[in-house]
Each structure stands twice: as structure tokens, then as C-alpha cells.
Structure 1
């Protein structure tokens, strides 16, 4: 139904010749993504922010500040049109979620006025059952997309793939999409995931046929995939994304791209793609203007950095304090200290060797070395935060490792180890969580080579301090976490290994015991165990 499709240059030229005969409609889209239950403020390195640092004005985000900036921004647009969207992954990543599960998310989100919320892969971390609780408690629509829930009795009929909302007398179609690899990185049970582009193509065509000519894709598939979808489909007008935790900005030098990033679709129209980093540190704010034919003629905005200049909502602060009290009592115990920052940022630990990855891999290998384990794997996606220099508390470690994973071992061949390493670097370009932090092992990978052929120079510990090439025919005992051992993040070679055991101590306890064994003080390091060519 969209008759006129214009390039970006044509849009600019035509803007000066608009007349009353062609009514324009502008929508202000406020959005967050990958909140991960980070209800408390965070430091500049995305670690937990203590009260003193926050009082000094050095911290960012937090649900109370997010509430203030959302309310203030919506008030600014009260005479216009606005939507508040979340692109998913609101579960998992803090002790609030570990303690209260989905209830803490729905309780706060219900008070914030979200118009539509997408489904992230982490919404399935505790199975369809916990996701269902979230859906039933939410006072806002949650959309699915490219996944089929008909085989799950609880979710069947409880979630739609798209929704039409009316704003300012205009119908806006919003389509959901969730990363296709959710079955590998979460626990969706009988929920089946399908090709994103095929699903969005069909959903957008159905909306267009129904007379809806303003279509937003609210996606949780990652920035790279968003760009691909924008370039592949003619009917999607705007993509509001998540999953890759990408910062897009016109002012921040560290941004991955401009806000919005414009991508030409198959008809030559430029589609705006936006994302707003992570953890409620930014509020995305994009103004989209359509002409009467449903063609985007303007897209402009900038994500708002939620720093200490934003006053925290007092009511939210009070609610959070009540929830935090029992958590703080249990997690404030100091279990060690670090002389420098332990680097756990996803931008580092999903691409290269990082000091947090070394600590975790070293700790789990040390725990079972006397049982014959010689190689450790820690998936980068299982590392959820950094720890700044100073004391390390139980809460710090639980924030880094929020998934309640246990120590696991399995026996596999050297060839299987190499296959696991290939899996780990198979999707580095998209920051996939499968990247392998290791101990007892060295390897090199070449990003320019195709996936499945990137790993070389795999070495294992020999006698004393020597390193020797891995023997692909030999059997090795590998230690990891129960998620990776059971095939999570694509580690199928571990799922099919011999003598699997998934019921070791919790990883956070293993780390605490390792720090105690070292005397309590730890000095972060990297030693070249992973080389990039």
C-alpha cells in the first residue's frame, strides 16, 4: 500500500515542498533495551555502584533515575505523540532478579507506563514458566514474534507476535523478533524459534494489507542483524533494537554508529535503526515523521545519558530500599579484594582474553585439578559485570555470575576441544556469548577466516611449565559450568562427551574459595592465552 518510496536525499529535498495536502505524523519513540534487572545505579564501567560513589555523582542509571527521565520526557511530549518501548532482556543480571525473579520487573515496569515490551532470550532463562508469570503480571502488552508457543500449554494463546496501537489517531503496527539462537542460549522448553526475516516479512505484509502503513520492528536480534533486516524488507519503517547492547550516538566517540543508523531497504528508502546501550544507562529518544503515504520523511534524535544530574524518583528509591535490605544483609560479606579492576565487559570478554575470564577459568580449573581436569572453559556470555579495584563482596561475585550455574566436568577428545573453540569464535562479529575464556589451554584465532576454520595453534600444558600441541586423539577432562556442559551456547561437543557431571558447587562459591586460597588479595592479569590474528 505504500506507493511512494524515496531516498534520503529526496526526503531532504521534498521536506521543503510539503503542503497541507500531505498530512505528516510525528511519533517520539522512547526506548530502552537489555535492562537486565539493573535496578541500582552502575559505575562508568557498568559495575555495581556503592552508595558513597553514587552520592559523589559518579554513577549512572538505576530504576529511580530512569523513572524520572521517562516521566520528564513524556511530559515534554504531552502535546504530541509518544511511545515507551523496551526491546527485551529485562530478566537476569542482578541480585534483584536472582532473589525476586520476574515479579520485581513487572512490579516496576507496571508503574513506568511501558506501551509495548519485546521478548529477549533471557526472558526464557528460567523456562517458559517464569516468562508466563511475567506475561500474566504485566499491565502492558508483551509481544513475541518469530517463535511458536503452541506446544507449551502455559504460553499457548498468551502472547502475540505483533500488535497495533493507536497514537494521535494513527495506527502503529509493532512487530516483535527474538534472536533465533535462543534455544542454544536460554531454556525455552517446547517453544520453537523460526527465521526472523521470514517472520517479519509476513507480519509486515499482513499489517500493510490491513491498512497499517506505519510499522516498527521492536527487535531483540542484535545491531548487525537489525541492519540486515532493514536492508532486506521493504515495509518495516523503523527498527528499535536490543540484544547486542549497542550504543548508537551522534556525540559519543565510543558509539558503534550514528543514532539513528540509516539503512537503505530494497526500495531505496532509508530505514532508521536505533539501540540504547544497556542496563538503563541511556534512554533512547527518536522522533520519526511519516508522510500521509506512510513513508518516513525524517528521523532524528539522540540517546540521553542518565547521569547524576537526573534526580532519582523518591517513591522508587523507597520501594527499592525495601527490596534491597534482605539482599544486602546476605551479600555484603567481603570475600577478598582486587588490586585493579577486574575487566568483565561484554565488549572485551566476548572477543578476547579478559582478566575476569582468567579469574573464573583459573578458579574452576583449580577446584578440580586434583580430579584430573586439565582444561577449563568459561563462556563469555556467563560474565555479566566487571569488579572495580577494592573489596570484593559476595554480591559482586553474584552480579558477575547471576545464573546460578554449578561446576561441571566432562571427558572429551582433543578434537572435541578444538571443535568447542571453533564454536566459541564462530560469531565473534556479533559479540556472541559463546566466546571461550580458558585455562590450561592456549589458542589462536583468525577473524578473517570463515567460521569453523578460525582456530589454530591449540596448546595444552605439558610437563612443568611447558606447552605442547593438543592431541586430537587423546581424552581430556574439561571443567566448565553446567550450562555450557549441557550444550548451551552451541557447545554440542561437550553435550555428547563421556562421564558428564553437572552437580558441582555453585560457581560463586568456587570463586570465593579460590580467592581465600590465594590469601584474599587478587591481582588481575592477562597472559596471552588467547591470541588474535
Structure 2
């Protein structure tokens, strides 16, 4: 009946027009029923400098990139209303860091249509400093740059934007008589970064910038957008430690596009106002892109005026679609529209090319020179590099060696120490992907060593926890070395490398073997786990590593969170986030005399024995002097409290005690026999 009323009214109007001779146009109408519609948001997060489409058909995985995003964008029946990003965007891959994020910002502005509408900072995005981040949106040849939103950031050097608004023009069309009705939906987008993430940023990078409570800032801005700006829909973009917990604190927000957790998320969470908040997140590294549809109902109340119209948002009934690189591949292979999509891809590739050329030019620049080979493996070609950093880099190079030459692991750890001033440093074998040959060292060489975009962080932990991690790492390495020797013997017998690795498999955690720096370490490979480290002294002051003392440890952001292989890392406390691992290497190698500095910071590995002769010749033991007795007591005390000292004294004492006891028993036996 409700749908019949406008048609009766239209018929009456036409009849009246005929009777009085006035013109009537059947092109507009005021629908008496509620209009169903949706606001669509295409979104990314944590791309970490990834930028170009690639797809591995055999694995079914890949990177969407900005060119692949253009394909997905153009494949929608209606262009998405918003393109939003939730942070950790401008920092990570060397393509981004070499230009301090400007290459990514330019693509965000110009890659397709009008580019992104807005982003919010992630914790890694501050690595170039607050001022450069705040003005990042200005990079790119476009009159409508994306907005950098951080409602809870206050800076003495400039103003951070809190939100943007966009009015969407909509037209309702009657499916039967083609009459139409025009109306508007106003959407507000507010952004912020979890204030707890700001506490771990380097102080010099955020000097003059402070962070208030993110949820409170968003709620206040959402209220202003509704009451003062007349927004019907509120979307929040936030970089948050826990997206669902964060959403539960929000008031007046319909949807949260989140970042930081590197997960795929699509859930409804009850907000602080008791209303549902749709929470979405799209993985990381441009492996996924999300498309969120936020439904609404527009009620005209049957009147022509829009003053009394009501918009009701039901985000909990929305739909999230998650796209991957395979979806881009499928569109490119489409028999009907594949050529069109390929054209979209190529257009963005043409915009990427000059940025790639600039990156290649920077990669070829010489940072410094090296007098020594720090190979990733046995030779300049990196033969067995993957295996060597897990095994022989921690062992004597040949029989009889008592010390190990500096390795690529020492170079990496030395760069972390140079950057941070920490006491100790670690790098896992899986994070090392290249080496340095004697001669010129280019930026490209450094990128090959550390290609993942991981960042350097400093953590505090006890000496005991650090030693426990090193001891377990040596056990992993020892098991890997056993596998490696068996593999090489199998290859020597005529089998392929792959056949050898299939037969004598690596430990699943082989990539967790640690290179370490900041200490001179003596290792006894004849001992079992927990007893291999004979001594460890800090390069800073030659002091013995104290299990009871707290130290600052520089590490990549990946391995320190591996509490499965290294349970004692769970006791560590995060202190500060620094730049990328490859940036730390660039900073070190760019210094004059960098190798000497690296060696003094990183320390060295030597090999020795912790044991004494297990079968000493019995001899009368003279009564020790008070001084000797005191010294012996101190050494034993160090052992029993876990301090690093030579071992074997107990074995000698035990043998002596057994000999004396045996002699006493023999004498007693003789006396007993004579008495009988």
C-alpha cells in the first residue's frame, strides 16, 4: 500500500495537469518507504612499504600492491566511497625507507582515481620524525592529497588533523515508474593511534609531540562530527594494540578499520554506548585488501523536505570482503575483461617505474668499503649461506682453531649496538639473507642482507635470561650442524642437495639460531646444553656477564617475540623502537673505520674447554693456606650461583674423596681380618 501511494499521487497530478493545461514531469518523487543503502570502504593496513603486485601460482600467495589495488578498485560495480589505511604504511621495505616514505605517499596520492582519502599513523611510521610524518600527505602530484589523521596527537610544531568529512550524493530510483529521489549521506572519518604505542617511540623522533587517550579523542571527535557537522555515519581508522578491546571503548562510532595486529578480522563488538561497532582488519604487507559495506536506512517520513529525514546505520549487518593476490590474478585472466584490468595494472606500473628507477639508483650508491669478506656462506656466491649461519659460523673454521673470524652476524649485531648504545645484541639466522665481499659496499648489498623491513628494538632482560637464550641457541645450532654434516656426506655419495635435506631434515626452529654481539664469548662444544658457554665478558667494560644484572639488548622486532623457542624472552621488557635493520647497517658502514668499530662493539667468539683431566694421578694433598682456601671458596660460590667460571673442580674433589674412602675401607678390612 505504501508503494501505491506515490503512484496514485502521480496519477492525480497528471490528471490535474491535463484539466488545467499545466506541464507535469514524472522524474522526481518522494518515496514513502525506507530507502536501503550502504557506504563502502576499501581498506588496507600494515603494508610496511610493500607496493607492487606479484603472485606465486604454485603457492597461491602474493602481494596485491598499488597496481593490484587499482585492479580490485576498478572491478567494483560502483566505485568504493572511501579508500582508507590504518597505519604502518611508510616504513618497512627499502623502497619506502630509502625515500623516507615519500615514494609510498606519492603512490597513495596518485596511483588511481583520487587516491586514498585518509590514513592514520602506525608506530613504525614515526621513524622519520613527527614533522615529516605529519606533512607526508603533501608528497605527490595531486590537488587532493590524502589526510593524515591522529586525533590524539598534539605537536608544538604543527597541528594534527583529527577527521575528514565527505558528503555522498545518492539517488533513489523507483524500479517501476523510473521516478527518482535525490538525497545525501554525510560520512565522518576520524583517526588515532593507540597511546600505548607512543611510549615506545624514540624520544628524539617525537620531540614536542604528546599522545592523549586515543579512545577518548575519537569519542569526542565523533560527537562533534554528529552534532556540529551533521554526519550520519562515523568510521574510525586506528592503529591499536587490540582492535576488539579498543572498539569496546568507542562511543558513537559505526565501524573501526584497524591496524597493528597483522590479522584478518571481521567481527561485531559492542561499543561503550551499547551499540555494535563493526571491526575489520586486512592482514599485513599488502597480502590482503578489505572492502567493508556499511548498510543504512534512509527514511523520508513521506515528506519532500529533508529536515525531518532519519538515517539509521546498522553496521552489524554489513558485509566484509577480503581480497588477495589470487583475486587480482583471476581478474587479469578473465576472458572478457582481462585486457581492461591489465590496462589498469599497467597504468599504475607506469607511475611506479620512475620511483623504481630512483630506488635502483639509490641502491647502487656506495656506502663504504670493506677490507674483509663477511660472506653469507662459504664463498662470495653465498654457497650454503642459509645453512652456514646456523652451523659453522659458530664453530671453528678448521681443526685446531681457537677463535672465529668476524662473521656477517657480528656485522649486523655491531650495527645494532652502534645505533642504540645497548649492552648486548642478537640477530636470528633466519633474518640474515646476504653477506659482504671485500671492496665497495653498496646500499643494495645491505638491502640483500636484511630485506624484510624488520626494525631494531631495545629490550631489557636479566643476564640469566640472556644466557639461557644463548645456551638454547647453541643447542639448536649443534643439532643443525649434525644434520648439515649428514647432508653433505649424502651429497658426496652422489645425491642431490634437496634429497639430502629431505633425508636429514633441519629442525623446524633452525632459523632461530642466534648471532650475538656486545660480548666476547668462549664456547666449549664438547659440553651439553647449559654448559657450553665457558665465559662471557662485555665489550663495553670487560666485565663478566652477571646473571643477576639487567642489561639492554638490541634485537630485530621478530625474534624477541619468539617465546616458544626462547621462553626467557617472555621476561623481557620493551624499551625503544628504532629504525629498520638495514638502515642500522647503512649507518654503520657509512662511517670511516667501520670494521674496527664493529669488531670492538660486537666482540668475538673463541673456543676452549671447561673441563680438567678426569683421571688425575693421586697425590697427597697439602693443607691449603687460608688465602688459597678463601679463593677456592669464592670460585665454588660463583659456580653454585650460576656465575660463569671454569668447571671441573667438583670432579677432581669427587675422585680424591673416592680414593681416600677406598684406602680407609681397605685398612679397616685388614684390621678386621687380623682381629678375627
TM-score (norm 2): 0.48
Deviations 1:385-427 (A, max 9, x none): 8969xxx964333422566x79x9x9x9957978xx9xxxxxx
Q: Distance in 1 between matches of 2:257 and 2:362?
A: 38
Structure 1 pair 164/401, CA: closer, same or farther in 2 (3 Å)?
Answer: closer
**Is 2:324 aligned against 1:305?**
yes
SS in 1 for 2:312: coil
Q: 1:440 touches 1:461 (CA, 8 Å); kept in 2?
A: no
Structure 1 pair 437/505, CA: closer, same or farther in 2 (3 Å)?
Answer: farther
**Is 2:38 aligned against 1:26?**
yes
Deviations 1:480-514 (A, max 9, x none): 589x9xxxx9427x9xxxxxxx975479x99xx99
Q: Distance in 1 between matches of 2:516 and 2:108?
A: 44
SS in 1 for 2:188: strand
For residue 213 of structure 1, the aligned residue among 232, 237, 255 is 232
Structure 1 pair 110/227, CA: closer, same or farther in 2 (3 Å)?
Answer: same
The Cα of 1:163 is off from its aligned counterpart by 1.9
Deviations 1:142-168 (A, max 9, x none): 24234333412xxx23x3112221123
Deviations 1:35-66 (A, max 9, x none): 222123467xxxxxxxxx68998633232222
Match of 1:450 in 2: none
**Is 2:153 aligned against 1:148?**
yes
Structure 1 pair 316/491, CA: closer, same or farther in 2 (3 Å)?
Answer: same
The aligned runs of 1:469-508 (5 Å cut-off) are 471-473=546-548, 490-491=574-575, 504-505=588-589
**Is 2:257 aligned against 1:285?**
no
Match of 1:16 in 2: none
The Cα of 1:341 is off from its aligned counterpart by 13
Q: Distance in 2 between matches of 1:203 and 1:365?
A: 45
The Cα of 1:302 is off from its aligned counterpart by 1.6
Match of 2:109 in 1: 110
**Is 2:194 aligned against 1:179?**
yes
The Cα of 1:123 is off from its aligned counterpart by 2.6
Q: Distance in 2 between matches of 1:147 and 1:184?
A: 16
Match of 2:126 in 1: 124
Match of 1:395 in 2: 447
The Cα of 1:243 is off from its aligned counterpart by 1.7
How many residues of Structure 1 are paired with residues of Structure 2 in the alignment?
A: 391
Deviations 1:6-49 (A, max 9, x none): xxxxxxxxxxxxx9544333111111111222123467xxxxxx
Q: 2:426 touches 2:516 (CA, 8 Å); kept in 1?
A: no
Q: 1:31 touches 1:84 (CA, 8 Å); kept in 2?
A: yes
The Cα of 1:205 is off from its aligned counterpart by 2.0
The aligned runs of 1:198-347 (5 Å cut-off) are 198-210=216-228, 211-222=230-241, 224=242, 226-248=243-265, 260-291=266-297, 292-296=310-314, 298-307=317-326, 308-311=329-332, 313-325=345-357, 327-328=359-360, 336=382, 338-339=385-386
* Segment of structure 1 superposing worse, 135-144 or 322-331: 322-331
SS in 2 for 1:232: coil
Structure 1 pair 118/342, CA: closer, same or farther in 2 (3 Å)?
Answer: farther
Deviations 1:317-341 (A, max 9, x none): 2333333245447759986364479
TM-score (norm 1): 0.60
SS in 1 for 2:74: helix
**Is 2:104 aligned against 1:86?**
no
Structure 1 pair 366/123, CA: closer, same or farther in 2 (3 Å)?
Answer: closer
Structure 1 pair 476/199, CA: closer, same or farther in 2 (3 Å)?
Answer: closer
Q: Distance in 2 between matches of 1:328 and 1:165?
A: 39
Deviations 1:450-507 (A, max 9, x none): xxxxxxxxx8974179xxx97455587966589x9xxxx9427x9xxxxxxx975479
Q: Distance in 1 between matches of 2:107 and 2:85?
A: 13
Match of 1:523 in 2: none
Match of 1:166 in 2: 167
Q: Distance in 2 between matches of 1:41 and 1:417?
A: 42
Deviations 1:168-226 (A, max 9, x none): 3211111101132234235222111111121122122222322323111111114x2x2
Match of 1:66 in 2: 69
The aligned runs of 1:413-432 (5 Å cut-off) are 414=462
Match of 1:137 in 2: 139
Root mean square deviation, CA, Å: 5.0
SS in 2 for 1:275: strand
SS in 1 for 2:200: helix
Q: 1:117 touches 1:140 (CA, 8 Å); kept in 2?
A: no
Deviations 1:70-107 (A, max 9, x none): 2322xx114xx621111122201122213323331232
Specify every segment of 5 or more residues in structure 2 that has no aligned partner in the other structure, as ranges: 1-30, 170-183, 298-309, 333-341, 365-375, 391-406, 435-443, 470-511, 518-529, 537-543, 561-572, 579-585, 606-676
Q: Distance in 1 between matches of 2:275 and 2:251?
A: 8
Structure 1 pair 491/439, CA: closer, same or farther in 2 (3 Å)?
Answer: farther
* Segment of structure 1 superposing worse, 60-69 or 330-339: 330-339
Q: Distance in 2 between matches of 1:179 and 1:262?
A: 20
SS in 2 for 1:35: coil
Q: Distance in 1 between matches of 2:324 and 2:93?
A: 21
Which is higher, the Rg of structure 1 or of structure 2?
A: 2
Structure 1 pair 402/41, CA: closer, same or farther in 2 (3 Å)?
Answer: farther
Q: 2:291 touches 2:321 (CA, 8 Å); kept in 1?
A: yes
Structure 1 pair 275/387, CA: closer, same or farther in 2 (3 Å)?
Answer: farther
SS in 1 for 2:62: coil
SS in 2 for 1:491: strand
Q: Distance in 1 between matches of 2:37 and 2:415?
A: 61
